[in-house]
Amino acid sequence: MAAFETPALGEYLVIPLVRVDAMAHSKPFVAKPEHQQGLGFPGELVPDWEKVAVAKLGELVSQSRALRVFLDSCVKCGACTDKCHYFLGTSDPKNMPVARQDLLRSVYRRYYTFAGKHFPKLVGARDMSKEVLDDWYSYFHQCSQCRRCSVFCPYGIDTAEISMAARDIMDSVGLGQKYSNEIIGKVHTIGNNLGLPGPALRDTLDGLEEDVKEATGADVKFPLDQKGAEVLLITPSADFFAEPHVDGLIGYAKVFHAAGISWTLSSHASEAANFSLFIGNHDNLQKVAERIREAAIDLGVKRIVVGECGHAWRVAYSFWNTLIGPFDFLDPSYPAPQHICEVTYDLIRRGALTLDRSANDDKVVTFHDSCNVSRGSRMGDVPGGQFLIPREIIRACVNKFVDMAPETIGEATFCCGGGGGLLTDDLVELRVKGALPRMQALQQVVEEHGVNYMAAICAICKSQFTKVLPYYKHPMEMIGSVHGLVSNAIVLGPGQ
Amino acid sequence: MSALTVLYALLFYAAAAILVGGVAYKSWVYARTPQPLKIPIPPAPTTRRGVALRMLTEITLFRSLFRSNKWIWLFGWVFHVALLAVLLRHLRYFTEPVWAWVTLIQPFGVYAGFAMVAGLAGLWARRMFVDRVRYISSPSDHLMLALLVAIAASGLAMKYLVHTDIVALKAFFLGLMVLDWQELPADPLLLVHLALVAALMIVFPLSKLLHAPGVFFSPSLNQADDARERRHAAGWSASIGHAGRARGG
């Protein structure tokens, strides 16, 4: 990893002048054959890969209206050019959403459109070549699939769909990304991203029970594989051990405990994350999700609740019904699936939780909207519930809350810089630079309102900020779970 | 019957066939291609009615673009609205008698010609002077603007500088529509204007102008946000079979 400079924060966010190839050197480690084969991909670059890639592109286009419409419709208006956090942080023009799309679109045009077949130079069509593949590998791993550009596109063109397709094509010719593919393999064989087997998970949960007992005196349980529980909790495995994620898990457990809801984790489906989304492969996407259906049926639960994880909530909210539904085996009086924030918010509104805001009086809190929650899903029953509900929970748990600048939150939120399968040390330069727009907005509320705590509901955001906050001269402890705040504020009665 | 008339008659038949056939074919392909997953982009309505309203504001007001970039919105919206007015004004060359409302909008149509050029000039200036937009522009993007500017300019030139025999021109087009060919006036400016319009009609279904039908099919815009309420399945996702096993379990 070459040395790099952390971008300087100015008074406001500046749209940079383009610097060609500024990030051409950024590439994640390539998956080894053993990482590839477990997912059904060739171990290394196949012979005649150019032809295989072009054929795969045609197949994907014929299977996805989104891809077809998005590849045809762009008019190069430029509206998206200043919307990507990676462009704003790196100045590399290939990180402008339209230019990133064009890496794939140029090949689509060459092989699948009249104009590209006959007038390639005129319309910017390119042959599939090693140079193109290198560009794909570099720049489709500089997209966190956060969908911010799509919000601002007059045709709703979603670069995430295009980068997912590109990664799927690369996997199909034997060029995979180590980080995502190794992790997906662990879910297939063990059941979670960490490769944490059932007994180790039980040990971890026992430890948490002791910790909570010591801290509060209450017998808060962390059940595993408990048949007949009402709720199956599906949460990112980072919640089991990583800081500050684990505070969130403790918060969920306290909420269930206080509300008297029986719940369980599953050792078969001990992972909410589904990195198959990032690599755009629907076979793996379905296969990873299927474990959750199996666990829910096996344990005989009535509800499935998803913990704080951004892309997992997108997959759960938007795709589960399609991939592993219908949920006719669950209690129809609850949404399936339900977000933990929906559960907590509902209990707060019904007055079922006792919360003491003063427990968080050492904090001035802001909230980072995670991209997949904001732009890939919803909560509650009205549009925008995904923005309202977490904030209402925070307001019920803290006295001092301020939002960051409106153009950096809600549907226009900036990605943390580590989403979409990029949360790996081999991409740390990209991650630090991509965090610039968020850090800029954070800096402003730190200076104006003394914010010292940024809450989030995404495991990737939490890990990413833990890593990058120090680059911007903030303590890594500044990032925390929303349910960590709940955990602090919740009052557990002695009889409970 | 001059060779020129025959040439232009055939050109317009071909151009109309390519435009209509091409757009219809592309729309059919879009409609036939499945969208296996739900991918609405916020602010996504939760009902079909809401989606209809969203599409209406996108298509008539360019709402997302307005949020995105005020300059592109201004130039782009002015261009499109002006183009629509100009097209409607031209209906008088294809109808006999001319519909009353078409007569009514004639003066606006003329102003719209200038507005169209202004909008195109603004978009072209961005393409040349904003470094990000310059980077993403292909030769075809410039050519498309050149084509549209040339069409507008040649049209305005006929209105204000060198008039053509408009009565004969109208007879030519009315004749084309009923397969009763009439002589086309051989004015150079008119011939240029018509050839460019025919070129635009031909490139329409082969180029980025497909954004016009495409926007209606964009899943991120036209899907309702109701994934939990209604099970969506299409294409590969329709072949995932669970129903039987679930009820048994």
Identify whether the C-beta of residue A229 lies closer than 8 Å to the C-beta of residue A262: yes
- Assess B219–A contact: CB distance below 8 Å, yes or no: yes
**Model pLDDT, residue A344:** 98
**Model pLDDT, residue B241:** 78
Could you tell me how many residues make up chain B?
Answer: 249
Q: Where in chain A is the domain with CATH 1.10.1060?
A: 36-176
Residue A459's CB is within 10 A of a number of other CB atoms, namely 28
Query: How high is the ipTM of this complex?
Result: 0.95
Mean pLDDT across chain A, nearest whole number?
97
Quote the Cα angle for A203-A208-A212, to 5°.
150
How many CA atoms, within 13 angstroms, populate the side-chain half-sphere of residue A234?
A: 36
CB–CB of B220 and A64 under 8 A? no
In the predicted model, what is the mean pLDDT of residues A63-86?
98
Query: CATH number of the domain at A36-176, please?
Result: 1.10.1060
Q: Which of B66, B70, B138 to mutate to test the interface with A (most CBs of A within 10 A)?
A: B138
Identify whether the C-beta of residue A240 lies closer than 8 Å to the C-beta of residue A272: no
Paired tokens of A147? 């969908």
Nearest of A311, A150, A280, A272 to residue B36 by alpha carbon? A280
Paired tokens of B133? 């937009």
- Give the least confident one: A44-48, A211-215, B122-126, B241-245: B241-245
**Model pLDDT, residue A2:** 59
Could you tell me how many residues make up chain A?
Answer: 496
**Model pLDDT, residue A495:** 47
**Model pLDDT, residue B247:** 36
Nearest of A346, A349, A249, A255 to residue A307 by alpha carbon? A249
**Model pLDDT, residue B249:** 30
**Model pLDDT, residue A482:** 98
Q: Which of B220, B233, B240 sits opposite A150 (nearest CB)?
A: B220
Nearest of A323, A288, A279, A62 to residue A172 by alpha carbon? A279
| Residues of chain B where predicted confidence (pLDDT) is lower than 70 | 243-249
Rg of the Cα atoms in chain B: 23
- Assess B113–A contact: CB distance below 8 Å, yes or no: no
In the predicted model, what is the mean pLDDT of residues A475-483?
98
Quote the Cα angle for A276-A281-A282, to 5°.
95
CB–CB of B138 and A124 under 8 A? yes
pTM for this entry: 0.96
Number of inter-chain CB pairs under 8 A, A vs B = 219
In the predicted model, what is the mean pLDDT of residues A301-316?
98
In the stretch 57-96 of chain B, residues with CB closer than 8 A to chain A read 58, 62, 64-65, 67-69, 72, 76
Residue-wise pLDDT for A268-282, tens only, equals 999 999 999 999 999
Residue A135 reports pLDDT greater than 90? yes
Paired tokens of B75? 């130039």
Percent of chain A past pLDDT 90, that is, above it, reads 96
CB–CB of B64 and A98 under 8 A? no
CA distance B8 to chain A (A): 24
Nearest of B204, B177, B194, B185 to residue B13 by alpha carbon? B177
Residue B72 with chain A: CB contacts under 8 Å: 77-79
**Model pLDDT, residue A494:** 60
Write down the H helix ranges in A300-370.
310-314, 320-324, 340-349
Residue-wise pLDDT for A13-41, tens only, equals 999 999 999 999 999 999 999 999 999 99
